[in-house]
């Protein structure tokens, strides 16, 4: 082997290295894909939104994919395989609905270690099939391979939407109202409850589980539901949001994504953030701040969107929607207006799968 080549390799090993945790998931994606070029006119939107958008003869096609890794995204000590299969589908369908599109097909690929039996994988796919049945989505393909690191699940979801009804992250305008569906923070607290139960079990396997009073929280963590109903509701209300994103990594992260892509600022009002009573009481029990949980918890899979003020009457009084703020000029920045009336800069502190 050429000695110059070996010396060069040794020199390269001594160069400084950048930890992935320094970037985080979204900056890493942005960094790795910034040189990607669009070669086809049919590719209307590439990296940077909830889904890619591909032009069709009649409707636009949207495509999204997610990879779930055991030990990073899920813990099988408290996540039943059937629930995992169901949730893995929801994670992807939520992105489709965030484009105001209808999900049509999914593909499922798994890598699995030899500790899993056929019966275990049948449980996983029972959850996948149930999700497909409930959401009227077709399972049309995928792949399987072996793994020496446990279980990995990769699902790709495809959907379609009329061109004039497709909603991107980039359409928000100053003075738009910021609206969220459902309530926030429950999934994160469900995870905290399950983690606590796991720790108790490790100390005392005979201990009685105390999950009854946390039913809503645990269900939001183990078996979330994507908001297909909201896409239908938009159609009934004749409402097309200006921008939209799903809440998978915490409210603060998603607000910042909308602002970045739309080149606007935002004011979010703390006293308007919707919280379930079980979230409030459990935050008190765990000595957690409920606003922080809502802003940074993640995995709620609700939809966050903006509308013009002239569309306010369409969402006013609807129990599915809560107006939590408004968009501003970009130079005004992104802020949380506290209950005390203080203006605090909003930063992204949501879950980061690359954090060490």
The answer to which of 42-56, 171-185, 217-231 has the lowest mean pLDDT is 42-56
d(CA 325, CA 309): 12
pTM reported for the whole predicted model? 0.84
Contact between residue 61 and residue 160 where contact means Cβ atoms under 8 Å apart = yes
Residues in the chain: 356
pLDDT tens profile 86-125: 999 999 999 999 999 999 888 888 898 889 888 989 999 9
Domains of the chain: residue spans and CATH: 18-165 (3.30.1330.10), 177-345 (3.90.650.10)
Least confident segment among 49-53, 164-168, 319-323, 340-344: 49-53
Highest mean pLDDT among 15-29, 32-46, 61-75, 234-248: 234-248
Query: Packing angle between helix 215-222 and helix 186-203, nearest 10 degrees?
Result: 100
Look at residue 301 and tell me whether its pLDDT is greater than 50: yes
Least confident of 56-70, 123-137, 179-193, 267-281: 56-70
How far apart, in whole angstroms, are the C-alpha atoms of residue 256 and residue 171?
Answer: 14
pLDDT score of 202: 81
pLDDT score recorded for residue 226: 98
Using the structure block, give the residue that is written with the tokens 């910021």: 178
Per the listing, tokens 């469900």 go with 190
Going by pLDDT thresholds of 50, 70 and 90, the confidence category of residue 140 is confident
């Amino acid at each position: 082997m050429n000695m110059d080549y070996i010396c060069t390799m040794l020199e390269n090993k001594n160069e400084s290295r950048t930890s992935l945790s320094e970037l985080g998931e979204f900056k890493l994606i942005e960094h790795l894909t910034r040189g990607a070029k669009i070669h086809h006119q049919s590719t209307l939107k590439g990296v940077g939104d909830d889904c890619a958008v591909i032009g069709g003869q009649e409707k636009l096609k949207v495509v999204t994919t997610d990879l779930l890794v055991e030990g990073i995204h899920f813990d099988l000590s408290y996540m039943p395989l059937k629930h995992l299969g169901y949730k893995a589908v929801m994670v992807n369908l939520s992105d489709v609905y965030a484009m105001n599109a209808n999900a049509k097909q999914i593909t499922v690929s798994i890598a699995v270690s030899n500790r899993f039996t056929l019966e275990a994988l049948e449980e996983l796919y029972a959850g996948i099939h149930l999700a497909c049945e409930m959401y009227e989505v077709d399972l049309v393909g995928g792949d399987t391979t072996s793994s020496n690191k446990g279980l990995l699940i990769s699902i790709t979801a495809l959907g379609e939407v009329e061109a004039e009804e497709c909603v991107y992250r980039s359409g928000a305008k100053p003075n738009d109202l910021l609206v969220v569906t459902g309530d926030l923070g429950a999934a994160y607290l469900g995870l905290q409850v399950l983690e606590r139960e796991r720790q108790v079990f490790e100390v005392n396997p005979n201990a009685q589980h105390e999950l009854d009073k946390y039913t809503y929280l645990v269900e939001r963590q183990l078996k979330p539901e994507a908001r297909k109903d909201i896409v239908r509701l938009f159609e009934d209300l004749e409402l097309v949001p200006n921008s939209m994103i799903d809440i998978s990594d915490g409210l603060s992260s998603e607000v910042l994504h909308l602002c970045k892509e739309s080149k606007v600022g935002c004011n979010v009002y703390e006293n308007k953030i919707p919280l379930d009573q079980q979230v409030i009481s459990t935050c008190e029990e765990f000595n957690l701040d409920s606003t922080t949980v809502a802003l940074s918890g993640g995995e709620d899979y609700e939809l966050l969107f903006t509308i013009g003020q002239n569309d306010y009457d369409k969402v006013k009084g609807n129990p599915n929607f809560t107006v939590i703020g408004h968009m501003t000029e970009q130079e005004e920045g992104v802020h949380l207006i506290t209950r005390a009336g203080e203006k605090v800069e909003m930063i992204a502190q949501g879950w980061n799968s690359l954090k060490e």
